């Protein structure tokens, strides 16, 4: 059995906050995979369903973010669920908006919800980190996470939660390979690769203008008689000498 936890704060005033992206993603998973109705239990709201044939208890703690571990600890103890079978979806300041990473174990990195869960079940649970971006300065963090998503965020947020819900069965496989596939598929769905531009087609050779109709084949002019080779000086001298002898006779 898996315990799938979405982190957030209860109540309508917090529903659209960046800090509540864990609740938003968990609701999308429950809807997509036909989980049962939400009911109050373990200091939170729970719904039962299946992912990849594995029984799953979805949990939204209603203890407020800083005390999330109370609900997670109570549910995991009741069902005797080991920390490695606990998956927590939460907001992540250190990831660009819409990016997702899966991590097993580790520290809280300043996240009070993770810190509370660690204090109740230890650090070895799995985390699905959902990027909300950083406001740029630590003094603005509290106001950032407790503010609603901007209208400009609606498009990537919908793509992200749809992809997380569609590929959630990979998380139930509980393997590094499946977690890697989950990250790759979700990130490609949120940020699809740009299509390559087709190479321009080679220009067709220009058509030649039609030439004149072929006439009779030209006659080859007769070659002029070969010119006599000029006499060499010796030949000329011999000829002239013979002529002189003939005149003397």
Instruction: State the pairing for strand pair 39-41/44-51.
Output: antiparallel
Query: Does 64 count as an annotated binding residue?
Result: yes
Per residue in 135-182, pLDDT (tens digit) is 999 899 999 999 999 999 999 999 999 999 999 999 999 899 999 999
Residue 12 pLDDT? 94
The values of phi and psi at residue 40, to 5°, are -80, 125
Indicate the SS3 state at residue 8: coil
Query: Does 124 count as an annotated binding residue?
Result: no
Query: Does 17 count as an annotated binding residue?
Result: no
CATH code, residues 2-190: 3.40.50.1470
Domains of the chain, residue spans: 2-190
Indicate the SS3 state at residue 227: coil
pLDDT beyond 60 at 88: yes
- pTM for this prediction: 0.76
pLDDT beyond 60 at 117: yes
Select the more confidently predicted residue: 103 or 242. 103
Cβ 127 vs Cβ 83: under 8 Å: no
Neighbours of 225 (CB within 10 A): 6
Residue 246 pLDDT? 55
Mean per-residue pLDDT, 69-98 = 96
Mean per-residue pLDDT, 106-135 = 93
pLDDT beyond 90 at 84: yes
C-alpha distance from residue 73 to each of 1, 24, 77, 83, 173 (Å): 15, 21, 6, 10, 22
Residues annotated as catalytic (active site), given as ranges? 19
The pLDDT > 70 percentage for the chain reads 80
d(CA 3, CA 20): 18
Residue 65 pLDDT? 94
Per residue in 3-38, pLDDT (tens digit) is 999 999 999 999 999 999 999 999 999 999 999 999
C-alpha distance from residue 29 to each of 35, 48, 243 (Å): 8, 11, 127
Residue 198 pLDDT? 74
pLDDT beyond 90 at 110: no
Torsion, Cα of 23, 28, 29, 30 (10° steps) = 90
pLDDT beyond 80 at 244: no
Query: Does 14 count as an annotated binding residue?
Result: yes
Mean per-residue pLDDT, 43-67 = 96
Residue 54 pLDDT? 94
d(CA 139, CA 128): 25
């Amino acid at each position: 059995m898996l315990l799938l936890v979405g982190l957030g704060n209860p109540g309508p005033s917090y529903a659209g906050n960046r800090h509540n992206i864990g609740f938003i993603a968990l609701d999308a998973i429950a809807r997509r995979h036909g989980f049962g109705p939400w009911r109050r239990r373990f200091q939170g709201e729970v719904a039962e369903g299946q992912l990849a044939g594995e029984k799953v208890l979805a949990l939204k703690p209603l203890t407020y973010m800083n005390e999330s571990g109370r609900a997670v600890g109570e549910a995991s103890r009741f069902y005797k669920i080991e920390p490695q079978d606990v998956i927590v979806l939460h907001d992540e300041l250190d990831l660009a908006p819409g990016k997702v990473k899966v991590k097993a174990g580790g520290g809280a990195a300043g996240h009070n919800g993770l810190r509370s869960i660690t204090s109740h079940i230890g650090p070895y649970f799995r985390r699905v980190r959902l990027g909300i971006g950083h406001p740029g300065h630590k003094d603005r963090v509290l106001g950032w996470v407790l503010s609603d998503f901007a209208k400009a965020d609606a498009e990537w947020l919908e793509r992200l939660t749809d992809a997380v819900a569609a590929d959630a069965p990979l998380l139930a496989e509980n393997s590094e390979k499946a977690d890697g596939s989950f990250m790759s598929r979700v990130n490609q769905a949120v940020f699809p690769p740009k299509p390559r531009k087709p190479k321009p087609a080679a220009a067709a050779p220009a058509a030649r203008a039609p030439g004149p109709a072929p006439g009779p084949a030209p006659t080859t002019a007769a070659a002029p008689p070969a010119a006599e080779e000029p006499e060499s000086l010796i030949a000329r001298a011999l000829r002239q000498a013979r002529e002189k002898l003939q005149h003397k006779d």
